Amino acid sequence: MTGLRGVRRWLGDHLILGLGILVLVYTFVPIAVVVLMSFNDSSRSRNVYRFQEFTLDNWLHPGSWANGMWDSVVLSISIAFWATLVATLLGTLAAFALVRHRFAGRSSANLIIFLPMASPEIVMGSSLLALFVSSGFGGQLGFWTILIAHIMFCLSFVIVTVKARLGGLDDNLEQAAMDLYATEWQAFWRVTFPLVLPGIVAAALLSFSLSFDDFIITNLNSGQSVTFPMFVWGSAQRGVPMEVNVIGTAMFLIAVTIVVSADVARRRQAKALAA
């Protein structure tokens, strides 16, 4: 009887874990395809939705990179860089205000911050376009309008991420530093800031990938500029050049390396502190 129950219990425990892992595997199937296709030699056939032959050419010969693709990648990187910088700065300040300060209108501020994350992108994108057109900037859509839009939608994600980190901190640590005669400023830079930093870094990473990847809002507010997702979209109508998959794979590898090494560093630090 107990044996049977034990078996059922083991099965219960491992069944759910197994199913969870299956769901996780499913989310990686399309990524495996992107990686695979980055090694596909599509020069022999027009059918780009099929694996033809293994080649390293897509990786090794940047000269063969499709027309305009490299420019679109550079544009996306520079927009993502500036959007991340501004959104992380403004968002971190706002997160401090929301967690560490009490002021009138705090709860409505929290709501306004949640709304961009929940609004459909098409509505945000079209309302920004309506604003730009009605205020006479309709002809100047491009780098600046894309940047404005990206800072706008990254802000909420930064605020929420930093807020979560800050909310989990014990503010007695700061008090303790000040009891030990640190000035408010020293307590901030020596104690609070280093503890919040992982949250800020995570927020910046999230911002960068959201901005680099955005299509719907960008497409409405970009004018003649072509970002990387727009390049992919445009080429999807004709047939995607395999080099696009190289960029996708490289992005994935870089981001995962950063995240995993940050996690490893955090664990080492925790271990060192415990020892």
Residues 124, 215: Cα–Cα separation, whole Å: 12
Tell me how far, at minimum, the Cβ of 72 lies from other proteins, in Å.
12
* Binds other proteins (CB under 8 A): choice among 41, 57, 71, 213: 213
Q: How many residues bind other proteins (CB under 8 A)?
A: 92
Stretch that binds other proteins, among 28-36, 59-67, 77-85, 185-193 (CB under 8 A): 28-36
Tell me how far, at minimum, the Cβ of 68 lies from other proteins, in Å.
16
Tell me how far, at minimum, the Cβ of 213 lies from other proteins, in Å.
5
Tell me how far, at minimum, the Cβ of 253 lies from other proteins, in Å.
9
Report CA 202 to chain centroid distance, whole Å: 9
Helices 143-167 + 121-134 axis angle, to 10: 130
CB 266 within 8 A of CB 114: no
Tell me how far, at minimum, the Cβ of 266 lies from other proteins, in Å.
9
Whose Cβ is closer to other proteins: residue 30's or residue 63's?
30
Query: Is 252 among the residues that bind other proteins (CB under 8 A)?
Result: yes
List phi, psi (to 5°) of 45: -140, 155
Stretch that binds other proteins, among 57-65, 77-85, 192-200, 224-232 (CB under 8 A): 224-232
* Binds other proteins (CB under 8 A): choice among 28, 45, 74, 261: 28
Tell me how far, at minimum, the Cβ of 71 lies from other proteins, in Å.
17
Contact code string over 111-150 relative to other proteins, x by CB under 8 A = xxxxxxxxxxxxxx-xxxxxx-xxx--x---------xx-
Whose Cβ is closer to other proteins: residue 59's or residue 233's?
233
Query: Is 217 among the residues that bind other proteins (CB under 8 A)?
Result: no
Residues 146-175 that bind other proteins (CB under 8 A): 148-149, 151-152, 155-156, 159
Residues 37-76 that bind other proteins (CB under 8 A): 37, 49-50
Tell me how far, at minimum, the Cβ of 57 lies from other proteins, in Å.
19
Residues 71-110 that bind other proteins (CB under 8 A): 90-91, 93-94, 96-98, 100-103, 106, 109-110
Residue 204 in tokens: 């910046």
Query: Is 195 among the residues that bind other proteins (CB under 8 A)?
Result: no
